[in-house]
Amino acid sequence: MIYPFFKKTTLIATSALLAAALHAQETADTRPNIILFMVDDMGWQDTSLPFGTEKTPLNERYHTPNMERLASQGRMFTQAYACAVSSPTRVSLMTGMNAARHRVTNWTLEKNKSTDRKSDVLKFPEWNVNGICEVPDVPYTYEVTSLPQILKNSGYHTIHCGKAHWGAIDTPGENPHHFGFEVNIAGHAGGGLASYLGEQNFGNRTDGKPSSLQAIPGLKDYWGKDIFATEALTLEAIKALDKARKLRQPFYLYMSHYAIHIPVDKDKRFFQKYRDAGLSEKEAGYASLIEGMDKSLGDLMDWLEKNKMDKNTVVIFMSDNGGLSSEPEWRDTPLHVHNAPLNSGKGSAYEGGIREPMIVKWPGKVKPGTRCNDYLIIEDFFPTILDMAQVEERKTKQPIDGVSFMPMLEGGSYEYNKRSLYWNFPNLWGNEGPGIGPTCTVRSGDWKLVYYYETGKKELFNITNDIGEKKDVSIQNANIVNDLSRDLGEYLRSVEAQRPSFKTTGKVCPWPDEV
């Protein structure tokens, strides 16, 4: 008698037998699932959820019911910081290093090409234009052990969905799979997107070739369809979660939306509502990007509840830099006010460039409906997420600058604001505006010092009293300026930070405590 291959009847011999033995074993790894919901270019006020002390006109303008829902179940962080542009933030998240150390200080895209805007005055350093990677000897990269790699090694199922932006095209860091992500949906070297529209194949030509370096890869099933990228990514993420549920490993989902990066395409599901409310075409489009992103958050929360996994899943909401406020092609004028009461926006050392909307929901651990006003910074996510995942084996190639904010989650007293936070941006970003330029910055307690490499100028703000950074009080507080300058200079030297140099003399710009 011959049995054809794959015939159903050959497969049932011991299945009933096995089934009985399985139940007890299948939930052995009870560590929490973790969803890091990372939004791109979302400002601190791009939400109906007030992160400031009162509801602002921008909070009235936008509708983010699912962020409100998440906040009601978790803890808001009102002083959560990132870098002023994308790659530095995302590299710090992946590595636990401050950008001054990892030297991916501006945004990355093409191999061996700097994205620095040209300056007549300054020459910019040879920063890591190729980003990070996990292999040695790749020029202009920092070799690291990444967060998802460690999570994967510890038994997590690791899912990347959306924007990656960790390494230049044709370098090992361009691909999330090279960092231990087991699933990669639409992630590559690009940090922006050519189009949100399925009708436009998200920027790909119909012959399958990208029309731009920023065409979204990997969403071919949605090409030619009436669907927004935010929704397509969400549908794909949910497919990956459906699979993750079957694998019965704890999962780490890095849900990294391309939204709300330019282009400000209209998310038709929400656009007209904002027009009806009186917003301009541009600003109604921007609001629709936000609400589409918020719907995705809600869809994931619904999935968790439907699958009874909400109780054992941490959801972290974060953005990678401030809202874009310097670009008249995409935002209404006047510019630099789109993150009010914060000054300026993406690319700036001011709060508008670096302060982010952040929420953490963790049933049983984080008290619902609470706020934390202590500050933290993006590299702190690395040790914190490893703490959440109970990972003990966390040997890394790079030193870790971040500090776990687990105590802040648990709400106990914690003197967090006694440490300083540091930024270094020895680069020149594409646009101009307040606080935008080659700078280094320190935040310490209430105070913030910004040092401009080109001019040697220093600005001092009392962030607690002057969140809008309208009033430079450096003249009145020479001692504080000196203390912070020394603090910043010492830190930057300790991590071998880079600086620009002057074209005329060839001399490197002074450290902040040298002027």
Taking the least distance from each CB to its own copies, the nearer of 139 and 456 is 139
Q: Which one of residues 73, 98, 114, 230 is an interface residue with its own copies (CB under 8 A)?
A: 114
5 part of the interface to its own copies, by CB under 8 A: yes
**Beta carbons of 320 and 90 less than 8 angstroms apart:** yes
Q: Is 353 helix (H, G, I), strand (E, B) or coil?
A: helix
Q: Which is nearer to its own copies, 248 or 493 (CB)?
A: 248
The residues pairing with 143 across neighbouring beta strands, listed in sequence order, are 133
68-76, 212-220, 408-416, 461-469 -> range binding its own copies (CB under 8 A): 212-220
Task: Name the nearest CA neighbour of 100 among 90, 113, 108, 88.
Answer: 88
Separation between Cα atoms, residue 506 and residue 229, nearest integer Å = 46
Stretch that binds its own copies, among 57-65, 92-100, 105-113, 462-470 (CB under 8 A): 105-113
Name which of 192 and 345 has its Cβ closer to its own copies: 192
List, in order, residues 6 or more apart from 156 with CB less than 8 Å away: 31, 34, 249, 250, 251, 252, 389
DSSP 349-383: SSHHHHEEEEEEE-TTTS-TTEEEEEEEEGGGHHH
Nearest to 162, CA basis, from 134, 140, 185, 146 = 185
Largest Cα separation within the chain, whole Å, is: 96
What's the min distance (Å) between Cβ of 394 and its own copies? 15
Between 59 and 119, whose beta carbon lies closer to its own copies? Answer: 119
User: Is the distance from CB of 384 to CB of 406 less than 8 angstroms?
Assistant: yes
Cα 413–Cα 404–Cα 172 angle in degrees, nearest 5: 165
On the question of a cis peptide bond just before residue 262, with omega within 30 degrees of 0, the verdict is: no
> Considering only residues 298, 430, 445, 468, which one is a binding residue for its own copies as defined by CB under 8 A?
430
Instruction: Pick between residue 18 and residue 475 the one whose CB is nearest to its own copies.
Output: 18
| 3 state DSSP class of 376 | strand
Q: Which stretch binds its own copies (CB under 8 A): 2-10, 226-234, 361-369, 447-455?
A: 2-10
Eight-state DSSP code of residue 77: E
Out of 32, 43, 148, 172, which residue is the one contacting its own copies (CB under 8 A)?
172
Interface positions, 238-277, toward its own copies (CB under 8 A) = 243, 246-249, 262
Q: In the sheet where 420-425 sits, what is the strand order? A: 420-425, 439-444, 447-452, 458-462
How far is Cα 87 from Cα 499, in angstroms, rounded to an integer? 18
Specify whether the CB–CB gap between 411 and 482 falls below 8 A.
no
Smallest gap, in angstroms, from Cβ of residue 163 to its own copies? 14
Position of tokens 């490499």?
Answer: 453
Site for its own copies in 353-412 (CB under 8 A): none
Query: Which residue lies nearer to its own copies by CB, 68 or 332?
Result: 332
Look at the chain and count its residues: 515
Give the number of residues in contact with its own copies, rule: CB under 8 A: 72
Q: CB of 56: closest distance to its own copies in angstroms?
A: 26
- Member of 22, 209, 418, 465 binding its own copies (CB under 8 A): 22
**Contact window for its own copies (CB under 8 A) among 175-183, 229-237, 350-358, 459-467:** 175-183
Give the one residue of 55, 60, 205, 220 binding its own copies; rule: CB under 8 A.
220
Q: Which is nearer to its own copies, 64 or 344 (CB)?
A: 344
* 14 sits near its own copies (criterion: CB under 8 A): yes
Residues 35-94 that bind its own copies (CB under 8 A): none
Any contact of residue 28 with its own copies (CB under 8 A)?
A: yes
Between 49 and 151, CB nearer to its own copies: 151
- Name the one range near its own copies by CB under 8 A: 303-311, 395-403, 417-425, 428-436: 428-436
Under rule CB under 8 A, residue 177 binds its own copies: yes
Cβ 187 to its own copies shortest distance, Å: 13
Tell me which residue has tokens 């930024």: 423
CB atoms within 10 A of CB 514: 9
Contact status: 138 vs its own copies (CB under 8 A)? yes
User: What gap in Å lies between CA 2 and CA 37, rounded to an integer?
Assistant: 53
Is residue 29 involved in binding its own copies (CB under 8 A)?
yes
- Residue 117 touching its own copies (CB under 8 A): yes
Structure tokens at 119: 């300056």
Tell which positions 312-341 bind its own copies, by CB under 8 A.
326-329
